[in-house]
Each structure stands twice: as structure tokens, then as C-alpha cells.
Structure 1
Amino acid sequence: MRADLLIKPTDVLRQAGWRPGRNAGDAAMLAILKTAAVGHWALFPAAEAAIREFHGLRIAPAPGGGRVVAATGCVVDPQEARYAGPPLSRLGDTLGTRLFPFGRTDNEAPLALDEDGRLFTLGVGGAWLLGETAREGLVGLAEGAMPVRLRSRERLWPLSGMPADLAAAVRAALVAVYVLHHTGVYSARALRLRVTTLRGVGILALDETFALRPGRLDASAEPLTQAMTDQLAGAGLSPRGCELALGVPAPPGTSGPLTTLECTITLGGPAGRPTLALSAGMGASVGRTAEVLDACERAFAAWAARQ
């Protein structure tokens, strides 16, 4: 069941003039048109529905100081955030969705909705998810509920028991391919080898992509290792004097937050031992992307613990 259906209307909304079935009508549409004309914003159904329902409300913070964080009031009027185009556009690109202005908080932070109807704000500490729906977000803001901070994620797992050689790194990278596919992140079709010299400031000496063979993943291990070894030799490089990073790039056509994901097996670098790393941009901290990456992290942690 959708989260907004589980949330009962609260006093903060009723006191501001909200009621079930509310529709601000022409006033809401006029505000939408004026907003779109200034910032070239593209309207979508979730934004129109929420603005029609809540436009014109001035929601006061609930008394008592807030449940978890400070309670904050707001005004719902897309024109109040129409000039926040650049930062909201960047946030939308990071999240892999479009945003439309919704209003502003009493702290002058812009409010915006995405195509799924989620309510976001840009304030102290960066970007925040206030609620999975406009109603949930408005209530949470006014009552001082804890918002979700949007932040990049990065995890490292030392692979202390893994041999520090290219063949072992290839096998580990193929395990990563399997985990990413099995947990629903994406189905990789290649490995990317990046080689950095360890002399001076370090120079990227090789950056090549090697396609996986059709069929079983383990059948690709030996051919990939040989192809990479030949490439290193052809470039006059020795694994012993370099840092090798074997990445599992997203396949063509991947969009949204997953385009920022990097999964890499590194060996021969300053860390001195093989390491598995997983990172993604802040758009991966919410929604379906966050769920699949949580599952992926659990699988990687369990595998790394066995090495």
C-alpha cells in the first residue's frame, strides 16, 4: 500500500486550511504557468496533482519543537522556488528524474517534487528527502520528523586472503558481476582495466575495456586474464610496478543514479592488499536504487568475509 494512504491527515494541515479533496483550481494552475514560464520547467502529473491539492497553504510548525529535528513551517506555491532552477536541475539529474518547484520553507529553502511525487528540499547540509509523498513531506517538515539526507555512498572491503595477482583480481571482478546481476543492480557485459604507475604522482598508463564471453562467467576468467596480460605486455607495463583497478562498468542504456555507480577490485596500490570498492552518487540513497544497493552491499560483505 502507498505510504500516503497510511498517513492520516494531521492538525498541521487542517489548521492551514487543507481538507480531503481540496483543489486550488485556477489559482494553482496560474501559479504553475507563471513558474514554468520563468524557469522553463516541465510539468508532470505528480506535481500538478500535489500543487492543486496544497497550493496556497501556509503551514505553521507544530508546537513542541519537533519530534526529532526542529519543526519548520512552509508555504506551498511553486513561484516561491521558481528561481532555484540550477540547483534543483542538478539534483534532478543526480536522482535521475525531473523536479518541479513546490514552495519554500520558513528557512528560505526551496521545495520540489519529483515524478514519483516525492518531496525534496535543498537546505543546510545539502539535499534532503522530506517524504515519499507531498502530504507526508509537509507533515514531516511541520512536525519535525527526521528527513533522509541524500548523500553519496562508498564502501570498502579488504580482501586479505586473496592473492595479489591479476588472475585473482579477474575472478573477483567476475564475482562482482554476478552479485550486481543477482541483486538487481545491473547486468554488466565487460570489465574495465585501468593501470596507474606508482612512480611520482602516478600516471594512468592503460585504460581498456574487455568484453565478457557468452555463457558461464567462470569460462571468461582465463581468456580475460590472458587478454589483459597481453595488453599489459604490449604497453611495456609490469603489474608489480603499478596499481591495477578492475572495474565492472554499467552496460549501455543504464540511466539515473546507477550511472554513477563504480564497482572496482584494486590491487598493487598504496593499500598494499586487494580491495573491493563500491560507490555511487547521492541519488542512490533513496528509492529502488537504495534498496538494490543495500542488498548488493550485504552480498559483498558476506563474500569478502570468506576471502
Structure 2
Amino acid sequence: MAAETILRKPTDVLARAGWRPGRDAGDAAMLAILKTAALGQWTLFPAAEQAVREFHGLRIAPSPDGGRDVAATGCVVDPQEARYAGPPLQRLGNALGVRLFPFGRTDQEAPLGVDEEGRLFTLGVGGAWLLGGSAREGLIALAEGTRPVRLRPRERLWRLSDMPADLTAGVRAALVAVYVLHHTGVFSARALRLRVTTLRGVGVLALDETYALRPGRLDASAEPLARAMADELAAAGLSPHGCEIAVGVPAPSGTTGPLATLDCTITLNGPAGRPTLTLSAPMGASVGPTAKIFDACEAAFAAWAAQR
């Protein structure tokens, strides 16, 4: 009996609101969906329709037992309650690399959105949050006060203390980054990007050029690429020692989702003094497969940087 009670308890907050397995709000749900979609800024997809049909019309009260990790919060499930939260929800969707559809609002007037995987998100105090891997999980977590996952950009910086602060060394390090990004499944880069900023005054972007990688082994490309970059600097009247030099690995054309905006850069003569390697990604790298890929990439760079 005790085990049965434990298994049943997570659904109590939903059951008290009128939910039951197999629930379908039918025409009322579809009417709310159509009115929301009629605004022209939302595209319906199967996961959103399924979630809205199952939970539409429920007013879920916070658990009387209080929050487990954070304050328990109630909500109402009705896409019309969040249909005017278009810009912030769409920005969140863009950052995550998915589409979102309005789902409802919390008692604190924070909009709820469901994505193409059926996950439930909210925008509230402190930014964007993942409530659960499904609408049901998210609603229970909200009402029970289970700690959500905060979605935020990720960034790591490693100081390459033993690496020479010269252009050839920077290019070689960037080519290591090309290998790591390919090996960990981020993307297969086809170019390096050179950005040069003057160190005088407020700093001016003096050069921003992209150099295609040559066919064949990566290490064989290092010196030709470094020479081409050095020639470009000389032609522009710039000294490598008087500028901040950033050699980045841009995503190839056609890369989609959050990984398209992942940034990996080797910086010479920057604020840190010694050369640095920076890995950063938008909040889409906080959850799901993208988070695992970022973690693998981070571990590989940490191991490499420890040897520098």
C-alpha cells in the first residue's frame, strides 16, 4: 500500500484539478488553439496539440504541502492566456533551436510554452526555465515546487599559459579546436575566422576575414594559414603585437539549431594576458542532446588545455 501511495502521489495535484489519464478537452481545446494561432505568430505542431488537448481548462492549485525545493506555484492551462507573450517565447524558442506554442500561465503571470518535444518551459523571475520533459511532468513540478532547470548561456575559458602568443601557435590551437568540434559532433568546420582589434583607445575592429581550410591533414594547413593571415595583417598596416587577435572556428553554412551559434575562439594579446581558449554557447546548450555535446566538447578542451 505504501508503494502504491508513493506511485500515485505525484498525480494528486493534477487529479484535484480534474485531470485523469486519457483526458481530452476536445472542441474547447481546439477552439483555444485556433484563436491563439489566428494571431499569425504561432505554428501548431503535434506535441503542442496533444498537450493542450490533454490539459486545457485545468486550473492547477499549488500543493497544500508546500514546495519541495522551491515555492509551489499554481497555473491555468489555456494557450490564450499566453498568446500575447509572443516575442519572449519566440526568442526562447530561437535560442533553444525549437518551436514553442503557448500553453498557459502561472499564478505569477509567467507564460508557459510547450516545444516540439513536448517539454514545458516558462519565463519568470531569473529568466527562462525548463519545468519538465513533458507537459505532465512540468505541471506536477510547478505545483509540487520541484526545482526547475535554469536555461542560461554557457561559457568556459582556459588560459593556455605555456602556449606562445604568436599567430602560428594561435592557428595551430584553432585547428585543434576544429578537430575537437568535429570529433564531439558539434560541426565539421571548413574555415577559420580572423578578427583583429586594435589595443589603442576604445579598440577598433580592424580586420575580420575568413580563411578556408585546405584539403588534407589539419596540421599541414597551419603554416600556410598563418602566413596568409600575417600577410593580411601586414597589408592592413597592423602589427600582431599591437592588436588583440582572435582566431575562431565558425559554423559551416547550413548548420542548424543552438550548435550553429556555438563559438570557439583562441585569443592572443587579450585581457587575460596569456593566450586563451573560449568555448561558449547560447541557452540551448543547457538541456537535451545539445547539453551533452557541449559537455563532451568541454571535457575534450579541458584535457587538451591541461597539457599546454
TM-score, scaled to structure 2: 0.95
1:201 corresponds in structure 2 to: 202
Q: Residues 282 and 9 of structure 1: is their aligned pair in 2 closer, same or farther, counting only changes over 3 Å?
A: same
Quick one: distance in 2 between partners of 1:108 and 1:126? 14
Runs of 4+ in structure 1 over 2 Å off: 6-9
Q: Which runs of 5+ in 2 are unaligned?
A: 1-6
With 89-98 and 161-170 compared, the bigger mean Cα shift is at 89-98
Is residue 66 from structure 1 mapped to residue 67 from structure 2 by the alignment? yes
Mapping of 1:1-307 within 5 angstroms?
10-307=11-308
Report the alpha carbon displacement of residue 181 of structure 1 after superposing the two structures with TM.
0.8
Aligned equivalents of 2:186 and 2:31: distance in 1?
41
**Aligned amino acid, residue 286 of structure 1:** V
Query: Percent identity at matched positions?
Result: 81
Cα offsets for 1:167-190 (capped at 9, x unmatched): 111110001111111111111110
CA distance in 1, matches of 2:236, 2:68: 61
Matched AA of 1:24: A
Deviation of the 1:40 alpha carbon: 3.5
1:97 and 1:114 in contact (8 A); partners too: yes
Q: Are the equivalent residues in 2 in contact too, given 1:7–1:136 (CA < 8 A)? A: no
Distance in 2, matches of 1:160 and 1:185, equals 26
Deviations 1:24-72 (A, max 9, x none): 1111111111111135321100000011111111111112221101111
| CA RMSD across the alignment | 1.4
Q: Which runs of 5+ in 1 are unaligned?
A: 1-5
Q: 1:225 to 1:8 in 2, by over 3 A?
A: farther
The letter of the residue matching 2:302 is: A
Q: Aligned equivalents of 2:168 and 2:195: distance in 1?
A: 15
Matching residue's letter, 1:107? Q
Does the 8 Å contact 1:128/1:147 carry over to 2?
Answer: yes
Q: 1:218-262 CA distances to partner (integer Å, 9 max, x unpaired)?
A: 111111111111111111111011111000011101122123221
Q: Partners in 1 of 2:262 and 2:85 — Cα distance?
A: 27
1:218 and 1:191 mapped to 2: Cα distance? 13
Counterpart of 2:4 in structure 1 is none
**Which residue type is aligned with residue 176 of structure 1?**
A
Report if aligned partners of 1:39, 1:83 keep a CA contact under 8 Å in 2. Answer: no
